[in-house]
Structures are given as C-alpha cells and as structure tokens.
Amino acid sequence: MEAGQVSSAATRRALVLTGHLKEIDKGSSLVVRQPCLEYSPPELNSGEPAFDIELMQGLLDGHDAQTRTFIFNLMSESDLFVSRRVGRRVFLGADYNQPMEVQRELTMKRIQYFLDRGVFRGWLTDDRPQSALRMAAMFEYIGLFDHSLAIKLGVHFHLWGGSVKYLGSKRHHDKWLLPTEEFSVIGCFAMTELGHGSNVRGIETITVYDPSTKEFVINTPCESAQKYWIGGAAMHATHTVVFSQLHMNGKNEGVHAFIAEIRSPDGRICPGVRIADCGHKIGLNGVDNGRIWFDNKRVPRENLLNSVADVTPDGRYVSNITDADQRFGAFMAPLTSGRVTIAVSAVYQSKVGLATALRYALSRRAFALSPNEPEVLLLDYPSHQHRLIPLLAKSYAMSFAACDLKRIYYNRKPEHAKIIHVLSSGYKAMFSWHNLKTLQECREACGGQGLKSENKVGQLKAEYDVQLTFEGDNNVLMQQVSKALLGDFFTSQKKQQPMKGLGLEHMNGPPPTIGTNANVRDVTFQLALFRLRERDLLVKLAQQVRELVSKGSTMANATLASYQLAEDLGRAFSERSVLESILSVENSLAPSPEKVPVFSEPCEITSHPFKQTILGLLRSLFVATTVDEDPVFLRHAYLSPDQALSIQKEVASLCREIRPFILSLVDAFGIPAPFLGPIAFDWIAANSWDLEEARS
C-alpha cells in the first residue's frame, strides 16, 4: 500500500470514530458519569458513646494526664516534631526516610529542645514515686512521637542514670546524677557483648585492680568480648557503665559495674578505648549504637558502683552478701526498669496501630453486596471485625495490667523484687509479642496505605521489632517466669506450706471444675479456666522435671528440656495476671454514692439474659480470644471440643456487639490525633493533587 493510501485509510477510520462519538453524545445513556467517592468520617459510621470517654482514658493511662498534655503541647510547638501539614491538620512524627546521620542529629536536637525547657529536671534527683510516674508519663508520650528519641533518653536516664543511682552509693549520686540531668555528662550502658546477650553471667570483659595506683584496669580480652549494640556509644556518649568480670587476687568475683569515661568533653575518644559504629539497622536509626573495646582502660577505684560490693584501697574485696548467686541477683534486681518501660511502650504502640486501622476501617468501603447498593464499610465485614476487635480487647486488658505493673514498680520495696522481676519478664514478652502481631494485622488491614511510612503502621513494625529481643529474649523471659513459679512450688511442697505471692494462692485449694454448660462471659468461669490452666501446667512441669532428674539429669538440664511446658506456663501466668487486672478495674468501678459511673448505661446483650458493661464485653473477648488461640486448652483437656467450638463462635458474637462502640473505645485510648497517620482521617484530601502541588 502506498503512503497516500495509508493516509487516506487512516482519515476514513478517524471520521468513522468521530461519527460514533457524536452519536453517543446525542444519547448519553451509554456513558453514565459516576459521582466521585467522598470521604465519610468515622463519626458518621459509629454509635453514640456508651461510657465517659475521658474517664476511660484516665483508667487506661493510670496517671499524670496533665503531664501528658504538657509534653504533647511542647512537641506541637516546634517544627522539630512536625512532619506534615494537611490543611489545618498537623502531624507529628519522625521522618524515617532521612539518612541515618540526619536522624541521629535530629534526635539530639530534640533532646536539646526538651533540655532548654526544663523537661528533665528532677528525673534522677527527685526520689518521690510521683516524680518517677511523671517521668514515665512523659516517656510514654515521647515514645508515641518516635522510638529512637525514647530509647536515646531511656539509655541515658534509665540505664546509665539508673545504674549510677541504684547500683552506686552517695559518692556516685553526688558526682553524677545532676550532671546527667543537665546532659553535661552523656551516658551509655555497656553490658551486651558480641558473644553474650541474655547470659549476663557469661560476659568476657575482665577487670583487675591495681593497688599501686588505686585504679581498676578494664580489658577486652577477645573479639567476642567487644561491647555491642551500645546505644549512644557511636557518636555522643561521654561515659559508660561497663559490666565486667572482676578478678581479685586470682579469683573471679563475678559481674560488677564500673564508670568509665569514653570521650572527652570535646568529643575525642579517650585513651584505652576503641569505638566503632554498628551501622544502619531495620529501625531505631536515630540511635547511634556502637561497639566498644577496652585496652588497659584505667578508672579510679571510686568508679566501682558499690551498692552490693566494694574494693578497699589496699585491694580487699568486701561484700555483705557472701553467696555469689545471691550477690548477682541483688546486683541485677535494680535493672528491671527496662522491661517495665518496654512492656508499657508496647501497649501504647499497639494503640497507635489500632487507632489508625480502626478509624480507616470506619471510613473506607469495599465491594457492594448487590447492584445499586453502596459499598460495605470495612468494619462491617465480620472477617474485618475478627481481625482487629480482639486485638483491641487485648490492648485494653494489657493497658490495665501495665498500670498495675507501674504502680508496683514505682512504689517498690525490697519485698517486691520477686513480683516485679516475674511480672516485668512475663509482661515484656507478652505485650511486645502482642504489639508486633497487632501492627502486622493493622498494616494488612490498611491495605496498600499501610505501606506508606507517613501512615506509621508499617514503619512501627520495623521500629519495635527490637523489643522482642532487647532487655531479654522473649522466650528466655517466659522460661524465667516459669522457673520462678517452679521454685516457689518446690519450696512450698518441701516445707509443706501453702503457696504465697505471685498470685498463686489459688493453688492452695482444690482444683477448679469446669462445667459442661459454662458460659465464657461468666467471670467465675473465666477465672476458673485461667487458674486451672496455670495450676495444671505448673504441676505438669514439676512432674516432668522430677522425672528427668530421677533418670539422672541435672535440675538445670531437666528444666531446659521442659522448655515447652515452661513457656506455656509463663504465658498462662501472664494472661491470668492480666485478667485479674481488668477485673480489679471493674471492681473499682462498682456503683457507690461517692463515685461517678464510667458508663451511662450497661450495653444490652440480646443473646443472653443479662447485661454487661463495655469493660465486661472487652474482658470476655480477651478471654475468649486467648482460649481460641491457645492449643493448650484442648491439648490438656481443660475444655472439650464442643466447648472450644462454642467459644470460637462467641468471639464473633462479641466482636459484633462491640462494633457500635469502636470509635469511642479508640478515642478513649487518648492518642493525640497528630500522632496518627493521615489515613486515620480524610485520606482522600491527604492524597489530593492540590497538596502534591503545594509540596513541590
């Protein structure tokens, strides 16, 4: 075909198509312009509040509402904390897309901003419990902004400062605590080594005493002994608490802690110290984690933190605790603050994920069930309810338990050491596992929007993954819980005395019985079931350990071989304790002339001949979901298959009944709106072209 013919044919086709389009335009029935999707806020798709939201938030936070408002307002006033503006709405958050070096620099600038405004005053020098709780409230809200900022401050105040305060004596307090508050000293915490993490007893750093100079000499004898993951060490820390084996006169006296200067005030690394950067991480890149080696690093004798043991000028080792195991326990007991703060922090981050995903699910629609009907709201799909609402119930229950843990810890006395150790170990593991599971489910529930860093949920997964292993691997912590329970059980049997403490008094009576017609919403049934599981697993663990020992195993090896029962028992203890915490809150709200009721009226339960408050519904869903997810209840026949099936169905029923109150329950979290991602609000406006043009 010639070129002219091609041109002619193309022209004819164009004319034909033009004619078709003109015909369509004459009769527009063939092309119907659909109205654009409009944002429908969650408030339009939710029921009226059935309870006092402000009072519920007070129960969840537990303390210091005004302090939380103060620190939030302080952050809102500075562009150091503002990540984005959408119309009149402001969002606060760290920009995780920035280079690691920039994130670290911004973390220090934000600390300086707080320092200039007196935020840290009294954090170490005020010993009152209310001051410690006020500090905790600020940490919780700082953590809502950025994990790196909270960790950087946590290393400086809780780990470095806490070591000086609780492992040291007056001479250390007078010299170090106020400079730490003022950041004229920047501290870090050198415990973890390349070769040893959870096993602190096994660390390889060695310290000896030189009586001729009255100095300790610290050495890193091998590469596996290098201090690793030391927050603040790579760039900013001037001093560290070094955990090391103390060798005195040819004898290893065990792990002790020493204050060592690692940088001069002008930032130069000190003689006898080598420091390297740990580099980029999957999260927490605003924290400068480093590695430290010591080469005959000399520190004054007075730098030994000596609350448990000391060395005299002439080189004699002295301690009021002669037993090495007891001395190590006394030495480590004050260092539980990390697990307490991680447990609480994990619950708050799960709230951020849930608030974002549930608000999105109350405004986003997908698929119509029949032609000419509107698309269905995500949260009106039973499967979507099942994904998110049980996690909401768990977060509520864990919030109350976290408040109980804080009350015990910040009002602690020596006799509380064991319960704090066991509860903080169990809760740190349970709550951080819950947080990661919640964030993953929320990320998926938000679809593609969950992948955007600015919507936070996906990024929080990477930021908080570290909680599963730092301050103790979760599986190891659960075994520590069961080890403590087992020890109390053996002692009780040996002395023929009743169980006392750790909430195990329920084991002194006969085993609870579970009726075939029991109702999962009944408090008596819930307590009986959780206590039966804990009791039976403890007895089974004791029997298995004894059997292995009778066959020639050592007690230590027998306990290790029983790890499955041990971890199941650790979870059983933790979940029973959480259940008792939420019940304690409910009992505290029993109507009386002096109390304002939290709930305007009980929620009606149509499928049962009685009423429950919203807390009762959440508690029942926490119990039902826990039972449904844990195979132990069927494995050891605490429930029959029919009962287990009935409880599974009850999960769906409870989700359906709680659905009208979801927005109120999320609002009661009290997470300030700027801490959430844009998809928690008008996600159409947040993605408009006008905003894109304004950015560029």
Residue 15 has pLDDT above 70, yes or no: no
Residue whose C-alpha is closest to residue 260's, from 302, 304, 233, 299: 299
Phi first, then psi: give them for residue 315, nearest 5 degrees.
Answer: 100, 20
Residue 32 has pLDDT above 70, yes or no: no
Name the least confident of 355-359, 361-365, 511-515. Answer: 511-515
pLDDT at position 689 is 87
User: What confidence category does residue 593 fall into, taking pLDDT thresholds of 50, 70 and 90?
Assistant: very low
Average pLDDT of the segment spanning 365-374: 89
Query: How far apart (Å, rounded) are the C-alpha atoms in residues 437 and 112?
Result: 34
Grouping H, G, I as helix, E, B as strand and the rest as coil, residue 231 is strand
- Bridge-based pairing state of the strands 317-319 and 309-311: antiparallel
pLDDT at position 603 is 38
User: What confidence category does residue 590 fall into, taking pLDDT thresholds of 50, 70 and 90?
Assistant: low
Q: Write out pLDDT tens, residues 302-312.
A: 999 999 999 99
pLDDT at position 588 is 87
User: What confidence category does residue 325 fall into, taking pLDDT thresholds of 50, 70 and 90?
Assistant: confident
pLDDT at position 605 is 33
pLDDT at position 662 is 96
- Compute the mean pLDDT over every residue in the chain, rounded to the nearest whole number: 90
Name the least confident of 61-65, 87-91, 224-228, 312-316. Answer: 87-91
Average pLDDT of the segment spanning 9-18: 54
Q: Write out pLDDT tens, residues 510-526.
A: 999 888 888 899 999 99
* Residues in Cβ contact with 26 at an 8 Å cutoff, skipping those fewer than 6 apart: none
pLDDT at position 521 is 93
Q: Write out pLDDT tens, residues 196-250.
A: 988 999 999 999 999 999 999 999 999 999 999 999 999 999 999 999 999 999 9
For a pLDDT cut of 90, what percent of the chain falls above it? 79
Question: At residue 335, what is the residue type?
Answer: L
Question: At residue 634, what is the residue type?
Answer: L
Element (H, E) at 690: helix 689-695
Query: How far apart (Å, rounded) are the C-alpha atoms in residues 50 and 254?
Result: 58
Residue whose C-alpha is closest to residue 677's, from 10, 51, 94, 197: 94
Q: Write out pLDDT tens, residues 553-569.
A: 999 999 999 999 999 99
Name the least confident of 17-31, 356-370, 481-495, 620-634. Answer: 17-31
Average pLDDT of the segment spanning 75-103: 92
Higher pLDDT, 131 or 329: 131
Q: Write out pLDDT tens, residues 133-184.
A: 999 999 999 999 999 999 999 999 999 999 999 999 999 999 999 999 999 9
User: What confidence category does residue 49 fall into, taking pLDDT thresholds of 50, 70 and 90?
Assistant: confident
pLDDT at position 86 is 80
Q: What is the DSSP string of 21-40?
A: HHHHHHSGGGS-PPPPP---
Q: Distance of CA 151 to CAs 147, 168, 231, 354, 361, Å?
A: 6, 22, 8, 22, 31
pLDDT at position 466 is 95
Q: The pTM is what?
A: 0.91
CB 376 within 8 A of CB 367: yes
Higher pLDDT, 458 or 610: 458
pLDDT at position 602 is 37
pLDDT at position 264 is 95
Q: Write out pLDDT tens, residues 671-691.
A: 999 999 999 999 998 898 887
